[in-house]
Amino acid sequence: MELTTIWFILIAVLWVGYFCLEGFDYGVGMLLPVLGRDETEGETPHSGETRKRQMLSAIGPFWDGNEVWLLTAGGAIFAAFPHWYATLFSGFYLPLLLILVGLILRGVGLEYRGKVDSPAWRARMDAMVVAGSFVPALLWGVAFTNIVLGVPIDADMEYVGGFWNLLGPVALLGGLTTLTLFLTHGALFVALKTDGRLRHDARALALRLGAASAVLAVLWLGVVHLRTGTTASWVVAGVAAASLVGGLLAAARGREGWAFTGTFVAIAMATTSLFLALFPDVMPSSLDPAWSLTAENASSSQKTLGIMTVVALVFTPIMLLYTAWSYWAFRKRVSGHHIPTEVHHAAVVDGGERAGAER
């Protein structure tokens, strides 16, 4: 197998990891005002603030580590396929800038939410988390739909379209699909990682969101693969659809672990199907197929790819082992009774909330 193909596969794996792991972070962030409302039912009702802190504590050990997958994917594209990187970041400059701003707002909101003991302060930080989760969840679907279907690229490997060229109906459908998929993924993560009424509310919401995401996903993947799909991409897209349906059936039976696994596999297979439909191109040209960027004409030298391959063989297993260990170490549920009802001094450490209560 050629090094260009190997690096195309490695980059696909990085994007799969990013969407599967960061996807539930986005979902949890967007659902803060929905699931984080005041609870009045049950024997031990919890305030909306307690529910929000349960949700944020659930993703606290993971969210910043999950973003490393994005940084690594971007760095791999830059090093392995510099022409792809240059055309992508120049042509998609505004959407990528909006995603970056969203990630910054989200990070600030998560890190500084507990720094001031004020409802108004926390409300502002929550708004930043919601907005910073919504924008990337929507725009990544728009971006990848355009990448697979093709954009205006001339003979000099330069993007010659405008921002509005990226907002076609199919691209917006892709954005809505990733948005609802991540919402469903996040709701199931909350159901898996919390207890009490919040767990049941999250599971019920996931079923409603999942029904909408399933319809959108079938339409989106169908349109994309009808235009540029291969036999392999169609098969993998079918596995994605089956996994999503299976996950929703598991959620209906109260099996949150299997339900979350279903959405995880669905996102992984849907992303994989896009890369299968894309290969051997990395950015097809809608003006002339001969002007498309391919894994061959957009790649670095063989020497560069060889050095990168050695580095990847050393550090990729380390990254995977550390990621697996972190999820295993923080595998238990976040219980509402572990969170103090009155907090006068709170701090956010490593993305998770640590409260010191002074009675």
Task: Give residue 81's pLDDT.
Answer: 95
Q: Is the dihedral of CA 291, 307, 322, 255 positive or negative?
A: positive
Q: Over the stretch 103-113, which tens digit does the pLDDT of each residue have? A: 999 999 999 99
Task: Give residue 278's pLDDT.
Answer: 94
CA distance 54 to 39: 13
Q: Does residue 66 contact residue 21 with C-beta atoms inside 8 Å? A: yes
Angle at 53 between CA 109 and CA 252, to 5 degrees: 115
Task: Give residue 357's pLDDT.
Answer: 34
Size (the chain), residues: 359
Range from 149-163, 224-238, 263-277 carrying the lowest mean pLDDT: 149-163
Pick from 38-42, 117-121, 246-250 the range whose average pLDDT is largest.
246-250
Pairing outcome for strands 345-349 and 352-356: antiparallel
CA distance 164 to 41: 47
Q: Which amino acid is at 352?
A: G
Q: Does residue 51 contact residue 336 with C-beta atoms inside 8 Å? A: yes
Q: Taking 50 as the threshold, does the pLDDT of residue 353 lie above it? A: no
Q: Whose structure tokens read 């939410």? A: 113
Pick from 67-71, 172-176, 332-336 the range whose average pLDDT is largest.
172-176
Task: Give residue 50's pLDDT.
Answer: 82
Q: Does residue 190 contact residue 251 with C-beta atoms inside 8 Å? A: no
CA distance 54 to 64: 17
Q: Taking 80 as the threshold, does the pLDDT of residue 243 lie above it? A: yes
Task: Give residue 117's pLDDT.
Answer: 86
